[in-house]
Structure 1
């Protein structure tokens, strides 16, 4: 059987389209390729973004938090001139590679330092977001680190 050039071009196009469709179907059904958004409620979170910007600027001007890695874990140190018992807020740790490792902690300080234990943190990249209030003023500290 002899194949002319027109038939060969059509067969080449069909083979190429089949090859591409195979990978599209495979990647859309494979559980290893997760296509999640950063947050579940992306559009709702976007509406409160200006409050975050204001709180972050407020923290950069008035109250910087230091984050230090140690053998025990991560130590967050709050400003010395603030009374620690008036500080209320949350610490969110976000793991970009696996959303199942994300967790939040409520701030309950017994001194100027907060220790996040080493056993809660696996090695890799973590994004830390500390949102806290002191005397009705909102503060936000964001940092990415590799643990």
Structure 2
């Protein structure tokens, strides 16, 4: 049986559409392809963005900087020396872009102007660290990417 060029084009188009539909269904339904948003409360965080900008400016006004550094025990967050550790209240959020299950949030627990995030919490790779704290009713915000 001989296939005409019109029939060949129709078969090619139907084959292509079938291939695309199989790929779409596979990508949407397969659990191996994770389609999580960066954050569940995206719009609420977007509305809070200006507050974060103002809090970042407050942090830059301090005499001593806040620093995040890798140490052998994990990641050390060193708070400014001019702030009294007992008055610093807030949270540290560790965001792992490649795996939402590794994200964690912890209260700030300061020992001698620094906080240590131990190796047990971290796996190697890229981390986004967000430090959101208040000191004497003044908000401060720091966001940094670190490769651990």
TM-score interval (norm. to shorter):
over 0.9
Q: Distance in 1 between matches of 2:86 and 2:122?
A: 26
Match of 2:66 in 1: 65
Q: Distance in 2 between matches of 1:61 and 1:142?
A: 16
User: Residues 122-141 of structure 1 correspond to what in structure 2 (within 5 A)?
Assistant: 122-141=123-142
> Cα deviations across residues 104-145 of structure 1 (Å, max 9, x unaligned)?
110122320111111110011100000011111100010001
Match of 1:95 in 2: 96
Once superposed, what is the RMSD of the aligned Cα atoms?
1.1
Q: Distance in 2 between matches of 1:117 and 1:110?
A: 14
| 2:69 is equivalent to residue 76 of structure 1 | no
User: Residues 9-20 of structure 1 correspond to what in structure 2 (within 5 A)?
Assistant: 9-20=9-20
Q: Which blocks of at least 5 consecutive residues in structure 1 are unaligned?
A: none
Q: Distance in 2 between matches of 1:43 and 1:115?
A: 31
Match of 2:117 in 1: 116
- Equivalent pairs counted in the alignment come to 147
User: TM-score of the superposition, structure 1-length normalised?
Assistant: 0.95
User: TM-score of the superposition, structure 2-length normalised?
Assistant: 0.95
| 2:50 is equivalent to residue 50 of structure 1 | yes
List structure 1 runs of 4+ shifted beyond 3 angstroms.
none
| 2:34 is equivalent to residue 31 of structure 1 | no
Q: Distance in 1 between matches of 2:91 and 2:131?
A: 6
Q: Which blocks of at least 5 consecutive residues in structure 2 are unaligned?
A: none
- Cα deviation for residue 60 of structure 1 reads 2.0
3-state SS in 1 of match to 2:21: helix
